[in-house]
A and B are shown apart, each in its own frame.
Chain A
């Protein structure tokens, strides 16, 4: 057993209201510089939809992630040999057209325009060239709330194996249904971005598992951009370096939640430590699709198990971190309750961001009524849901419905139970039957209810203490960092000649 600690995350999709506050918080802190305008380390997509960059889930197009080939795990986009031949021109690199050309408006014109018969307008100006843009063809959330759904939502890669009638049902007027899908880097256990980097500039931090790009070492071979199946490494066209979500590590190290977590209006985000067995990464990533979720869960270790604690201590994991792992809300959602599922685990990067699949769009009934409780099959609405199960399974179950259905049924059972307690139009007997059928107990239902609905800031974010001596080590020579652009820099991040 090789125990490592990882700062992991859960997003509860039922609670996301699609306000994009998270995206703006991130943008204002990290990506408002030249060359990063088009980047959204955090973005919120409408599902069904094609997302950002367009159709990122279509790996036939982007070739991200890993595949198993003859018992071996291989990157889909590159290999050692291919890197040598493709280094001058990467055949799988997305270009700005796959994202969008960032722009601003000529606001000054509103003030300076000469007097005339018409109201002056502010024309869009490209943030790349500074020139006026004829048409704006795309933006970061272009298909928000199903905008342009015949073009966008209908081309969601997750609809690929849905029968015709289920597809039609998704888009029938007055029966439309969608949910939001906020995304950041998953800080994977088997990151394909790291494995693809020819320079070894990308790395995973041993202490907390955050995946970073060493800006001093990145040489713009840009293999990471193509290799990440979630398209969460971005190329800064101005500095000639790749950049990605840093999970706000300067905030985490000082005990604060990352900006997107902190600002989340729906309070959908949870963060905490998971202990896992690093020895099993390769073995787990090679499993067949249907076993991936279980194997991924199995490599997450029980932080209360004395053996695990002993092994963690041998690996230098401090008691503070172990204690934090024991209180981790992520551990509860992922391992104990099995409510949270990894996105597209079939890409085999072993993501460390998990999603509680959304129940509301599932339960919303066709005729617009509220929930129908009275039926012999308590979970009939899950099976007949308006968001087809296969669609959710393609997103969160590697194409298999079982784990998704389990998570939805348990959520519904908790709702029925709470309804029996607070409203009383359902008998407790029925609620208990629902809990039993959903593999839940009354105690567990109470806990789920509390951590979902009544959670405070401190319940949601259990941030491990940064190790004091490590923090000091980083500061060894404060003068070295004077006038720098952050740690590790002696000069500002100036573009090369």
Chain B
């Protein structure tokens, strides 16, 4: 391997991840402190209600499942390998992952068409929206390409990607796991870190403020000046 490629691998797989993650952490915190108002999902359903359904719903169900899959494979690689030891189970896992990936892609494309063609939605589309759409598009397409042309990723993820990610977590990046991978896989990884780095500058921050307390709070909310803030109200 020539030294230039080696150097590039170091930058992309050992430096970029940390730059991206630190940007994410520092900027989200600073943005939350200084510009809390800007934390919003910036819903555009009010301006267009029909295409919205066909874009946003498949996209979110798809991407959340896919992300969950990546996280699981990262956390418990050995269990995944054990599951995959049976070919039928491997096929089921891979096929359902592919279905969700295609769902994500269709949703994303529907969302892009909506943002491009509807004049009202265009008014509320910013440059950062397009950046995020582009990055997501590259991410999903490269992911699907990898899934189709380098099959059984659910198995090799556990033996090469998961150890690489763990080496990042342990602050001792081991680039050798990824250096020999096909270009599409590399693109998928690099683009993921770009997404993470751009994350805090975009509407994606809505993921950080998902309203989980709703599930356990009382229906009514009452706030007082004097008494402790946000005592849940009597009655319902």
Contact = CB atoms under 8 A, between A and B. Distances in A.
B171 interface: no
A309 B235 CA distance: 21
18 contacts: A80-B214, A88-B56, A88-B57, A93-B46, A97-B49, A129-B120, A200-B217, A203-B223, A204-B222, A206-B224, A206-B231, A220-B43, A237-B46, A240-B43, A278-B234, A316-B227, A473-B225, A496-B37
Contacts of B61: 88
B235 A282 contact: yes
Closest 10 CB pairs of A and B: A281-B235, A496-B38, A198-B211, A206-B224, A195-B219, A240-B40, A240-B42, A95-B49, A278-B234, A220-B43
A479 interface: no
A202 interface: yes
A239 B49 CA distance: 18
Interface string A211-245: 00001111111100100000000010111110000
Most chain A C-beta atoms within 10 Å of own C-beta, residue among B45, B60, B120, B213:
B45
A83 B120 CA distance: 26
Contacts of B122: 129
Interface in A191-206: 191, 194-195, 197-200, 202-206
A241 to B, nearest CB: 6
Given A203-B230, A221-B211, A235-B46, A194 B123 contact: no
Given A281-B234, A497-B38, A205 B223 contact: yes
B70 interface: no
Given A202-B221, A278-B235, 12 more contacts: A95-B45, A128-B47, A195-B219, A204-B223, A205-B223, A206-B224, A219-B211, A220-B40, A240-B43, A278-B234, A281-B233, A285-B235
A24 interface: no
Contacts of B36: 216-217
A374 interface: no
A194 B221 contact: yes
Contacts of B230: 200, 203
B37 to A, nearest CB: 6
Contacts of A128: 47, 120, 123
Nearest to A492: B37
Contacts of A238: 124
Contacts, number: 172
A489 B220 contact: no
A132 to B, nearest CB: 11
B53 interface: yes
Interface residues of A, number: 67
Given A131-B119, A215-B37, A222 B45 contact: yes
B203 A203 contact: no
Most chain A C-beta atoms within 10 Å of own C-beta, residue among B49, B227, B236:
B236
Contacts of A285: 235-236
Contacts of A222: 43, 45-46
Nearest to A474: B225
A490 B53 CA distance: 35
Contact of A73 (B44, B53, B209, B236): B236
A190 B220 contact: yes
Contacts of A130: 123
B153 to A, nearest CB: 27
Contacts of A199: 209, 211, 214
B157 interface: no
B106 to A, nearest CB: 14
B99 to A, nearest CB: 18
B4 to A, nearest CB: 36
